[in-house]
Amino acid sequence: MNYLQVKCALAAALFLLTTRGAHAQPQSKKRVLVLCTGNSARSQMAEGVLKSLNPQWDVQSAGTKPAARVNPFAIRAMKEIGIDISGETTKSVQQFVSQGFDYVITVCDDADQNCPNFQGKVGKRVHIGFPDPAAATGTDDEKMAVFRKVRDDIRSKFTEFYRSTEASHGR
């Protein structure tokens, strides 16, 4: 090999390493919409979990009948695991129906049954159901225990979902 061939080979190797080398992360930004009825607890917690797993993903949550505010018990439960959802607001699914998503995930049976038709392209619709922690009764400590249980289930199932989607896309 002459000097010019070596220089070209090194330039090609450097290009490959910087654009898709062994240490570079593949581009796999996803758009995800998490749906529930009120968008006050389960979908908000799931949104927070997915954002914590990959801040590059565009994750939104919405409700078929949005509540007035995010449930304070959901905010507290997420804060306990280092995820801050206190700045989130409830949103209507109607503001998203014209947009495209890689995944639309319903987290309650009502949203699964009443999920609107999307005008934008939806790659895959998935249902990962959880009981409604906002339906919990009793003392604040008893309600908080229910929110923690649902939060932990959401974190477990959405971590599994995230890993499976990344594994299927070459990560």
Question: Looking at the annotation, which residues are catalytic?
Answer: 36, 108, 115
- CA–CA dist 97, 119 (Å, integer): 6
Alpha-helical segments (H) within 21-139: 42-53, 72-80, 109-113
Token pair of 93 as six digits? 């699914």
Both tokens of 156, joined, read 């477990």
Contacts of 58 (CB under 8 A, 6+ apart): 29, 30, 31, 32
Tracing tokens 């932990």 back to the chain, one arrives at 152
Neighbours of 87 (CB within 10 A): 7
Contact assessment for residue 110 and residue 116, using Cβ atoms and an 8 Å cutoff: no
